[in-house]
Structure 1
């Protein structure tokens, strides 16, 4: 029964994710997108802003400022609909730049690289210098990926038809993310034979554990 529920949950997550990507594309590729597509597509940005305000040192002033911004958006929602693509553009580029900075800022040492920290969380036994050098290079690869994604998005948004940019941001980016995860795993199997390995799901779980332990330490 547990196995069946896990499969159903996976199917549901895939269906929800696919539906979100379709709505994202509809809202970002049209000059007059459906209202529901814009509302659903804005969920990641809104959630991130609210979470950042809630976790800030000035929680309640930040939350009041956030509430004021949401009220202002609600009062000018018609204008937002006619400029929905800009909302998606800033959301996409902001996420990519933020992730690039998060990964790139840890490249100062092999031990401190973000992927090295995640690997130490996922693997119980100590990791040698060769392993940490590899995870440093993975951190660099992700940094370059996020920087390239932001740059390509900027160029497409500025010089190509809007539908091309929407296709890249909404559909091609999830595919490229999957290729990055899967490709890194296959490369790791060849680059680190005989070393402990962990799956993509374990990587995501280890990242969550790492962020939770970091937040608790702070």
Structure 2
């Protein structure tokens, strides 16, 4: 019995959610010092190693690819004693770095004469010219997401510096995803209130448009 495309997509989404929840729980306990320092550090560096691995794999020359893999392994081995003793700091750097990167990604589209990111997504999703009201709304939403990511990064740093480590860990590792979901839901409810039905794309249309917009952005940066 074969699964339909929608069922397979739903299963992949559930698996991804389960993986994110498991990783968040492991990050929380690792940041609090529970368990093996080596396992906690390995879980902590896994996203960074995965990203570096993808970058190395994109190298065309097999010899250069091998050198890149050896360089990543050597760097990891050199840093390992420090990483296993500073697991919480490792998660802090990841948490702040990812949120700052997303804040910059959204915020820079608000500068100059460029098109705000959410406006671009809406234009692709609607496949027609946007009304002035829709353009104003999407610009405001882009600014709201920018503020959200910078606020999360700032709060994470302040809690790490001023609050007990357990309090920071709960915020950074356990509350970030619920806060992200709450932001999505809140924006959706507000959109339902201020925009007419013909100016509200479906969630599936928005996801497809976001992928298209990010792919366009990556293509524009490619040499």
TM-score by length of 2: 0.82
CA drift at 1:80: 1.2
Inter-partner Cα distance in structure 1 for 2:195 and 2:127 = 16
- The 1:169–1:47 alpha-carbon spacing in structure 2 relative to 1, beyond 3 Å, is same
SS at the partner of 2:169? helix
Distance 2:93 2:17 in 1: 25
Aligned partner (choices 202, 206, 209) of residue 209 of structure 2: 206
Out of 183, 192, 196, the residue aligned to residue 180 of structure 1 is 183
Aligned: 1:134 with 2:137: yes
**Where does residue 117 of structure 1 map in the other structure?**
120
Q: 162, 165, 177: which is aligned to 2:165? A: 162
1:97 aligns with 2:100: yes
TM-score by length of 1: 0.84
How has the CA–CA distance of structure 1 residues 32 and 11 changed in structure 2, closer, same or farther, with 3 Å as cutoff? closer
User: Given the alignment of the two structures, is residue 108 of structure 1 paired with residue 111 of structure 2, yes or no?
Assistant: yes
**CA 197–55 in structure 1, closer or farther in 2 if over 3 Å, else same:** farther
The number of aligned residues is 215
**Is residue 96–residue 146 contact of structure 1 (8 Å, CA) maintained in 2?**
yes
Secondary structure of the structure 1 residue equivalent to 2:110 = coil
How far is 1:141 from its partner?
0.4
Q: Distance in 2 between matches of 1:55 and 1:129?
A: 42
- Change in Cα spacing, 1:62 to 1:180, as seen in structure 2 (3 Å) is farther
Aligned pairs for 1:1-218 (under 5 A) are 1-2=3-4, 4-30=7-33, 33-51=36-54, 67-108=70-111, 112-217=115-220, 218=222
Structure 1 gap segments, 5+ residues each: none
Question: Gapped runs of 5+ residues in structure 2?
Answer: none
Q: CA RMSD of the aligned region, Å?
A: 2.8
